């Protein structure tokens, strides 16, 4: 449904996007993830035809954004990051204007009623936009993006400024829409991407550094297999026991355990059944197990690793946290 083919964008000498290629299928919810200035918004602006790629091709529904911009725009609903609204208009006037500008004609009334209900705007419909809270402004802008029932929805920071209940509501709305629409969203809230998106595209310094599901991303950056084991006993006792397993590559003590309990992160690189080996060790030593589980990187850790690795900076933050025993 949405394709970027070797897309680059330069603002003067500043690189905003560099050779980005991706294909987003119909019905997918894709999350753009990346630090500030990574190029997420630029990619969205290219898809919406607001800006043109310096190199490469961008297509929506098979149509080139430069050759058929008006047809592309008909397919797209867009919520920009800045939540642009005409402050001097009433919410109803604004939505009617956007509906007319989207050529809804006879469908305007029914679509207006639908977005007002879907975005929870009944109570502010006759209010001036300038007096709305940030949350209502966000929802009004989301409503204009939905009013023409677009095939592709581009949402730049859709839940920014909303309270937790509103965030849950908008996430649910996005999930409901996903069955029939292609949704591309960008956010700084990592948990939001993990909760809503089927697929995550990580952009850093203008380049696409990862593309896959939440699990794929974590697997991509996890260079070590890791198990956490905590027993009632001393650290030395635990360390001595682990030394007996040849395949253990590295251990890191957990300093944040209750008195009388020792914990250790056990890293191993070979493809062996480490759980079985540790179980045998526990039985052999007669340890009382307090905690025993496989460890996975969090999305935050994966994000830091992906973006730092790409920037050429050391991955200190992620590994320190791991070795410090963050769980």
Partner 1 sequence: MKDIAIIFNREFRAYFYSPIAYVFSIIFIVLNASIYMFHFFFFGNADMRSFFSSLPLVLGLIFIPAISMRLWSEEKKLGTIELLLTLPMKTESIVLGKFLASLLFYLVALAGTLSIPILLLFLGRPDFGPIFGGYFGAVLLGAYFLSVGIFISSFFSDQIVSLIITSLVCGFLTLIGWQYVPMVIDGWIPGLGEFLYNYVGVTRHFNDIERGVIDMKSIVFFLTFTALFIYLNAKFLERRKY
Which residues in this chain contact partner 1 in the complex, by CB under 8 A?
45, 48-52, 54, 70-71, 73-74, 76, 78, 80, 82-89, 97-98, 100-103, 144
Query: Minimum distance between the CB of residue 1 and partner 1, rounded to whole angstroms?
Result: 17
**Which distant-in-sequence residues (6+ apart) come within 8 Å of 201 by Cβ?**
22, 30, 31, 32, 33, 208, 210, 211
Query: Minimum distance between the CB of residue 190 and partner 1, rounded to whole angstroms?
Result: 25
83 vs 146, beta carbon nearer partner 1: 83
For residue 290, what is the enclosing H or E element?
A: strand 288-294
152 vs 202, beta carbon nearer partner 1: 152
Please give the structure tokens belonging to residue 15.
Answer: 């690189």
Query: Minimum distance between the CB of residue 140 and partner 1, rounded to whole angstroms?
Result: 12
56 vs 80, beta carbon nearer partner 1: 80
48 vs 226, beta carbon nearer partner 1: 48
Which of these, 21, 10, 33, 23, lies nearest to 204 by C-alpha position? 33
Sheet order of strands, 55-60 included: 14-24, 2-11, 55-60, 63-64
Query: Minimum distance between the CB of residue 52 and partner 1, rounded to whole angstroms?
Result: 4
Which of these, 183, 153, 186, 237, lies nearest to 43 by C-alpha position? 186
**Is residue 4 within 8 Å of 60, Cβ to Cβ?**
no
79 vs 278, beta carbon nearer partner 1: 79
Query: Minimum distance between the CB of residue 9 and partner 1, rounded to whole angstroms?
Result: 10
């Amino acid at each position: 449904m949405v394709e970027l083919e070797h897309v680059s964008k330069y603002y003067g000498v500043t690189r905003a996007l560099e050779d980005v290629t991706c294909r987003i299928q119909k019905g997918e919810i894709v999350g753009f993830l990346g630090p500030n200035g990574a190029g997420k918004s630029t990619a969205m602006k290219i898809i919406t035809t607001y800006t043109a790629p310096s190199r490469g091709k961008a297509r929506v529904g098979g149509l080139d954004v430069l050759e058929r911009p008006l047809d592309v725009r008909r397919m797209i609903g867009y919520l920009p990051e800045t939540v642009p609204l005409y402050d001097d208009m009433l919410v109803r006037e604004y939505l009617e204007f956007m509906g007319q500008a989207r050529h809804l004609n006879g469908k305007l009334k029914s679509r207006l009623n639908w977005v007002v209900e879907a975005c929870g705007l009944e109570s502010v419909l006759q209010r001036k936009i300038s007096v709305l809270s940030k949350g209502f402004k966000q929802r009004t802008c989301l409503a204009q993006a939905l009013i023409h029932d677009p095939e592709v929805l581009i949402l730049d920071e859709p839940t920014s400024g909303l309270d937790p209940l509103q965030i849950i509501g908008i996430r649910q709305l996005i999930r409901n829409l996903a069955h029939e629409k292609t949704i591309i969203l960008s956010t700084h809230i990592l948990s939001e991407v993990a909760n809503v998106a089927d697929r995550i595209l990580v952009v850093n310094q203008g380049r696409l550094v990862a593309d896959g599901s939440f699990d794929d991303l974590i697997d991509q950056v996890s260079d070590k297999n890791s198990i956490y084991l905590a027993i009632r006993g001393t650290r030395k006792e635990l360390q001595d026991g682990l030394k007996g397993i040849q395949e253990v590559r590295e251990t890191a003590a957990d300093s944040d355990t209750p008195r009388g309990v020792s914990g250790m992160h056990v890293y191993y690189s070979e493809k062996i059944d480490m759980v079985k080996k540790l179980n045998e060790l526990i039985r052999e030593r007669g340890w009382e197990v307090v905690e025993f589980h496989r460890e996975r990187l969090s999305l935050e850790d994966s994000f830091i690793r992906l973006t730092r690795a790409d920037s050429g900076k050391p991955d200190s933050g992620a590994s320190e946290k791991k070795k410090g025993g963050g769980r």
